[in-house]
Amino acid sequence: MNREGRGATAPQSASETGPATFTGNRALDLEEGLLFEIGRQEVTGVDLDEPAAFAPRLGGLERKAPLGLPGLSEPEAMRHYVRLSRMNYGIDSGLFPLGSCTMKHNPRLNERMARLAGFADIHPLQPVSTVQGALGLMKELSRYLLTLTGMDAVALPPKAGAHGELCGMMAIKAAHEANGRKPTIVVVPESAHGTNPATAALLGYQVKSIPARADGTVDVEEVKKALSPDVAAIMLTNPNTCGLFEPDVVAIAQAVHAVGAYFYADGANFNAILGKVRVGDLGVDAMHINLHKTFSTPHGGGGPGAGPVVLSKALAPFAPAPALVADGDSLRLVEQQGQAGAAQALGRMSAFHGQMGMFVRALSWMLSHGADGMRQAAEDAVLSANYIRASLQDVMSAPFATRPAMHEALFDDSWLEGTGLSTLDVAKALIDEGYHPMTVYFPLVVHGAMLIEPTESESKASLDLFIATLRDLAMAAKAGEKERFLGAPHYAPRRRLDETRAARAPVLRWVKPQAVAEAAE
């Protein structure tokens, strides 16, 4: 592995990008070797004193040889990370059309609020008396979430969507156990998010799948066939991953409750119904809310995230610790089971009480928008998705187009029939046009799916350019311009990966290339 062939790809050839350069750089597109190639073990940007004598406490398991990590000077380290950042695509780079991911603008006002000393510099182990302002913000955030959802309680500790799913399903499991029941099955429609069946399986439940109807929604009669006293819950994503609102959701909730089960709603797509629908009115018992999606906070990159869970009256006693309670004019956190207000709680899900930075950003977004602004955000997100679908469905095939889309537009690959191209080829060609690809091959109920969520952040001009780009690609595909697609991306820092090989046989350790002996003169 070296600069000429890093991983499964190589830099672009001179024939594609102009004359070759000595450095490998292409103007401000800088080519850099791996840290192991450019770093030196004897160099570091930080001076560390030799540690004083000490007795190891690792029982003989401490490292016997040097770690062998490469070192950089401080300027080199800065340049390295700046160069990496230039190779990254983010919401500040351009339209980010990932479906079902709500990649929307992060207002800088929210960032400024999160960096205020009273929020950024506090510590979760401080005395509660010194963080009353932070607890007050958490209380106000909780009030907003409960008002928006029509639910009875909220648990703030979960760190992201899947963690929130786990919290909600653990509350459901605890409620069944408190009622002397031990059901073994969780019903999950095919149009749910993939983490739903994984969460149910993690908790020891058997997953029973429900097929989607021809129109992409869940049939209440199919749900009733799957229900029995052995069912603990249904996990329904609404709006679902086909970008559709479930029309029978109230009837589904009633059927689920009739057999003593609970209704878990996946709230990842809450951006589509924010301020328009209160999920509590639909019969939902638990739903996680991605603060880092619906309420504009940073998304992706491994965090940070926040996935509070709202609970119905039936599940409110089973919220995890810590719980926020009021004692007169002050606030405190109930930390342990058995304390007042946490008698039936399922226990602790995380070390502390949530991600404070996410709480500040989310409440800042809510206060900035107000009730009417949040409602308009949802309406604009739905309008954007329908605009994209209506503008492309004459050149790209859109299943379920007889129903209005919600937050995202869904296309399949039947329009590519006879072209010799695939959904992946279109996604790679979109990179050359300066866009991150849409979500591909998901949801699984649609063959060769292309899922686009524009959100409410994009202007009409931005949407029009994206639509024109996809129309141009569609016409090129149908005109037989296969090389534009099969060779894509042509202009990215790296060419197309062998993604199957990278997933199944990743190279995780750098090995120094053997020196090549030069012939004697």
3-state secondary structure 247-276: CCHHHHHHHHHHCCCEEEEECCCHHHCCCC
Contacts for 235 with CB less than 8 Å, ≥ 6 apart: 165, 169, 186, 187, 188, 192, 196, 197, 199, 200, 264, 265, 266
- Could you give all domains of the chain from N- to C-terminal order, each with its CATH number? 129-365 (3.40.640.10)
Give the C-alpha separation, 291 to 192, whole Å.
19
- Nearest-5° angle of CA 322, CA 323, CA 328? 130
Torsion over CA: 397, 403, 404, 405 (sign)? negative
> Which one, of 494, 500, 504, lies nearest residue 1 by Cα?
494
Q: Residue 484 to residues 185, 250, 284, 305, 448: CA-CA distances in angstroms?
A: 48, 48, 48, 38, 19
Tens of each residue's pLDDT in the chain, 521 residues: 333 333 334 444 444 557 888 888 888 888 888 888 888 888 777 877 888 998 889 988 988 888 888 888 888 889 998 988 888 888 888 999 999 889 999 899 999 999 999 899 999 899 999 999 999 999 999 999 999 999 999 999 999 889 999 999 999 999 999 999 999 999 999 888 889 999 999 999 999 999 989 999 999 999 999 999 999 999 999 999 999 999 999 999 999 999 999 999 999 999 999 999 999 999 999 999 999 899 987 765 556 789 999 999 999 999 998 888 888 889 988 887 555 555 567 788 888 888 899 999 999 999 999 999 999 999 999 999 999 999 999 999 999 998 999 999 999 999 999 999 999 999 999 999 999 999 999 998 899 999 999 999 999 999 999 999 999 999 999 999 999 999 999 998 888 988 889 999 998 888 888 877 666 55
Its pTM surpasses 0.85: yes
Alpha helices by DSSP H, 393-498:
423-432, 460-478, 482-486
Structure tokens at 455: 């959100």
Give the C-alpha separation, 9 to 3, whole Å.
10
What burial letters (b/e) apply to 335-347, b meaning 16+ CB within 10 Å?
eeeebeebebbbe
Exposed (0-12), middle (13-18) or buried (19+): which is 435, by Cβ within 10 Å?
A: buried
Give the C-alpha separation, 137 to 160, whole Å.
19
Name the β-bridge partners of 473. Answer: none
Q: What is the DSSP letter of 150?
A: T
Structure tokens at 264: 């878990």
Give the C-alpha separation, 336 to 321, whole Å.
6
Angle between helices 460-478 and 356-392 (to 10 degrees): 50
Give the C-alpha separation, 26 to 3, whole Å.
14
Name the β-bridge partners of 411. Answer: 450
